[in-house]
Structure 1
Amino acid sequence: MPYSNTSTLHWDYRDGRVAAVMAALVYSLWTLEIVFVGSPDSTSGALADPDSSFGRFLDSAHRTAAILVMLAAGLGLTLGATRPRRLLTIAWWSMAVFGAASLAASLLPGRCVVSTDAACAVETLVEGVDGATAVQPPIAVISILAALVSAIALTLDRRRAGERAWPVLALITAAQALAVVVVLVLASLLYASAGDGSPGVALGLAERLHLVTVALWLLAVGLVPGQWKRTRRARRIPERAA
């Protein structure tokens, strides 16, 4: 029977690569706000109005992205490079933590459209917004720090392995580290002000910069081949003697 094996699902390393690339694309969907909503309000902590159709769409999309990230990390751990070094294992596990924390934050009530938006989580908490809980800021901080740890570990592992793309990974990681520092500093200042301060343009731009670096990191995870392996090796066909 020609279709006897179609009912069996076989995971492949390429599924993990596709999941990482798709997650990168989803984390870039906030740019559609410019097209469909107009110029985004960079003075606001939120990237979109949570009560708008686009805000609900973006919320669902980021929930999907978190699941894709966990899928990619899981396949990386199981179908990734043979005998991975400790750094690569740390990169995969940190990526899984990022996905799990992002998913958990997206399921919590509140007005923050982007689950990794630590500044928005702090802002809603200090302003006493309905639905805001004290666990939202820590979870958001855990998610962005886990992503940074994963990016750093992957960059160092690829450098040790002699991957030609490691300088690009290093540039992405440096940009992500800068964005994380800026977001956390501004969020801390906002928390210290007890809601009396204004997020300002800098915080809005920092949030968007962080999303760009996260998307680039996930894109690199999917495109750089060194941390993956093929499940099947091509067999060489011996040449016939003339």
Structure 2
Amino acid sequence: MPNTGRLHWDYRDGRVAAVAAAIAYSFWVLEVVVPGGAATQGALALPGSTLEIVLESAHRTAAILVLVASVLGLTLGARGHGRALTVSWVAMAVFGLASLATTLFAGPCVVSTDVSCVSEALAEGVAGASVAQALMAVVAVLAALVAVVALAVDRWFADDHARGFVVAVAVLQLAAAKIVLVTASVLLASSGDGAPGVALGLLERFHLITVALWLVTAGVLPGPWKRTAVRTRATAR
């Protein structure tokens, strides 16, 4: 008699987790509607404000969902596929861990992985800003980039019908990550201008959108979750 009380993980759980994480990472749009949002605080969250509480919870939840998706991808989806997909899942896990770590710092930025905001906050000497959070934010940006590029490579060689879209998402994220990291480096090297922080600008928003697109793509595409490749290669040999 089967044990119905045992928790059974399925590849569909991983796909749902990836899409849900994309939605949670997009909660930054609340900055324009929540009192104390972008209109008055920019990329800095007023300690104890509704915006800080909502976004901190959303980012932590999203990071956990990313970890769930990556683990299920490695254990269920990557079996039989090439190394590129394995790299993509591992990089996704690193992204989730780095993102989760940034939410544990008492940083002032409403987007915990906002490298530009953390860099400016450090330059301005804003309370709560730390080098450790900045480093974790950089790791998150780079890990997400590696994950989407590896996914694009895997889908391209698998002749996935959506490979063109995945490549486009990878190119967009590459451009966004490069600009964001360069901007952060310039801000960190500066001595600051006396302002309390930076607004969540269009470039940072653009990068966050590309991250969400990558997570949605990883969850929606059925190819990365199939296990038929092993049998196909074995037959070919």
**TM-score range relative to shorter protein:** 0.7 to 0.9
Aligned CA distance change for structure 1 residues 39 and 66 (closer, same or farther; 3 Å): closer
Q: 5 Å matches for 1:7-86? A: 7-37=5-35, 40-41=38-39, 44-46=42-44, 48-86=45-83
Aligned partner of 2:4 in structure 1 is 6
Aligned CA distance change for structure 1 residues 38 and 135 (closer, same or farther; 3 Å): closer
Unpaired runs of at least 5, structure 2: 229-237
**Cα shift at 1:98:** 0.3
How many angstroms apart in 2 are the aligned matches of 1:167 and 1:182?
A: 23
- C-alpha RMSD of the superposition: 2.3
CA contact (8 A) 1:148 1:177 kept: yes
Which secondary structure state, in structure 1, belongs to the residue aligned with residue 223 of structure 2?
A: coil
How many angstroms apart in 2 are the aligned matches of 1:141 and 1:78?
A: 27
CA contact (8 A) 2:32 2:39 kept: no
CA contact (8 A) 1:45 1:123 kept: no
Aligned partner of 2:86 in structure 1 is 89
**Cα shift at 1:229:** 2.5
**Cα shift at 1:82:** 3.0
The reply on whether 1:141 has 2:138 as its aligned counterpart is yes
State the Cα deviation string for residues 117-141 of structure 1 (Å, max 9, x = none): 1111112212222222221111100
**Cα shift at 1:49:** 4.1
State the Cα deviation string for residues 143-174 of structure 1 (Å, max 9, x = none): 00100000000001100000011111111111
**Cα shift at 1:87:** 0.6
Aligned CA distance change for structure 1 residues 155 and 42 (closer, same or farther; 3 Å): farther
How many angstroms apart in 2 are the aligned matches of 1:153 and 1:228?
A: 15
Partner amino acid for 2:6?
T
**Cα shift at 1:115:** 1.8
Aligned partner of 2:114 in structure 1 is 117
**Which of 146, 157, 174 in structure 1 is aligned with 2:154?**
157
Aligned CA distance change for structure 1 residues 39 and 53 (closer, same or farther; 3 Å): closer
TM-score (norm 2): 0.88
CA contact (8 A) 1:62 1:115 kept: yes
Aligned pair count reads: 227
Which secondary structure state, in structure 2, belongs to the residue aligned with residue 27 of structure 1?
A: helix
Partner amino acid for 1:16?
G
**Cα shift at 1:39:** 8.0
How many angstroms apart in 2 are the aligned matches of 1:42 and 1:229?
A: 48
**Cα shift at 1:33:** 2.7
How many angstroms apart in 1 are the aligned matches of 2:40 and 2:224?
A: 37
CA contact (8 A) 1:94 1:147 kept: yes
Aligned CA distance change for structure 1 residues 43 and 132 (closer, same or farther; 3 Å): closer
Aligned partner of 1:168 in structure 2 is 165
Unpaired runs of at least 5, structure 1: 232-242
How many angstroms apart in 1 are the aligned matches of 2:169 and 2:36?
A: 28
Partner amino acid for 2:161?
R
* Bigger Rg, which one: 1
